[in-house]
Amino acid sequence: MELTVVMPCLNEAETVATCVSKAVRFFEEHGVEGEVVVADNGSTDGSQELATEAGARVVPVAQKGYGNALLGGIRAARGRFVIMGDADDSYDFTALMPYVERLREGADLVMGNRFKGGIAEGAMPPLHRYLGNPVLSFIGRLFFRSKIGDFHCGLRGFRRDSALALGLQSSGMEFASEMVVKATLAGQKIVEVPTTLSPDGRSRPPHLRSWRDGWRHLRFLLLYSPRWLFLIPGLALMLLGLVIGVPVATGPVSVGEITFDVDTLVGASAMIVIGFQAVLFAYLTKVYAQAEGFLPPDPRVHRMLNAWSLERGLLIGGVLAVAGLLGLVASLTHWQVNDFGELDPRHSLRLVVPSATALMMSCQVVLGTFFISILGIRRSSHPGTEEQGDDTLTVPQRMPEDSTGETSSDAETSETSETSETPETSETSETVETVETVETAPQADAAEKSTGGSGKSSKAKAASRRPKK
């Protein structure tokens, strides 16, 4: 089968039959071998019966959520290609040919663009049209270097195997962003086609909640981009702290009528520490996400890890710690010179603040280096057991020889091979019988000792007891 049209459904009795009928008519008019799958998420208004009567195959999805419904429908699809679209009659299911053509040409993901195809009056709230969709789509393009103009279009087509390979798991509306982001990170071929958006045919409010679902989209984009969540803000904060702190550390700095003194130095120190922590978090997140498969491998991170060993991290942390301790010793010496009395903070803080900053950064470097090293530990087995796996546990001990010089395990192996030569025996049963034979070797050995053996071994023993002529 070439195409499956998947429609998530939750109480869409007013429109689901219309959407299914349009998709079925598209198959007939264009000669496309396809089916319509309605992924029902627990409708209570009879949507299932209406969809079935219109020609759809209804797949119940117990787990609630837009993303869960779509994932259930995609897994149940029989077509090589899948086109998903809402069952609210806002998309035209008779105009799917541009999607099919791009998929036939080799695209992995074909996104609809409502801003290029046309948005009918009243089809999209102004908040979504002029703020939500444009801003979130811009952030997606910025964070992930994607060229998609409409990240959240509900009508899109994709290769079923390509989509399943992405490991999609979002349960809610952010599923739309996850598909685009993961396809981009995986290097899949993504194209856009113009599509139209019409006012939906429902009399009730939509399931979408503007601020809640908008935040879930933004949260997903941030969590999948450690570079923009941690690295770039951290570097900017560190740079700003250095630009401000270094001049103030040598003395007051006046700009016009404003003077920057030790209070500004404390603030600059905080910027450096927080910024450095954010940069460290960026690398920790990258290493963890790549190890768990959330993000694709990044050659830059691998080069950094190869260059930044545990020993080098400890060395750099130790140098920072020594610098901080020397500064504190100098501060104590300055206090001693003043007979441990009251000090002028404008002078003493210029020693204490940089020293404390160096000590804090040394601790961050040491602890972060240990944590990165822990994340680098791989679950590995001994070379001798890694390939064989559990099979090595079923290899029997060598059994003692009987009176014929043949071990009981030899006899058992012979019996097993005889069984495996039977034409009616499948590979699966052979494997099971072999394992059972190995596991029961001690019992078989005991039985042979008590009964005098069996099979070839017993025949050999009988022959040895015959009188010689």
pLDDT for 418 equals 43
Task: Band the pLDDT of 332: cuts 50, 70, 90.
Answer: confident
DSSP 267-333: HHHHHHHHHHHHHHHHHHHHHHHHHHTSS---HHHHHHHHHS-HHHHHHHHHHHHHHHHHHHHHHHH
pLDDT for 72 equals 95
Q: 3-223 in CATH: which number?
A: 3.90.550.10
Give me the half-sphere count of Cα atoms (radius 13 Å) on the Cβ side of residue 179.
33
Does residue 455 have a pLDDT over 90? Answer: no
Q: Which tens digits make up the pLDDT trace of 124-180?
A: 999 999 999 999 999 999 999 999 999 999 999 999 999 999 999 889 889 999 999
Question: Kind and range of the H or E element at 395?
Answer: none
pLDDT for 105 equals 96
At which residue do the structure tokens 């050999």 appear? 460
Does residue 241 have a pLDDT over 90? Answer: yes
Q: Which tens digits make up the pLDDT trace of 184-226?
A: 999 999 999 999 999 988 888 777 788 888 899 999 999 999 9
pLDDT for 378 equals 63
SS (H, E, C) 118-152: CECCCCCCHHHHHHHHHHHHHHHHHHHCCCCCCCC
Other CB atoms closer than 10 Å to residue 36's CB: what's the count? 27
Name the segment(s) of the chain with CATH classification 3.90.550.10: 3-223
pLDDT for 201 equals 85
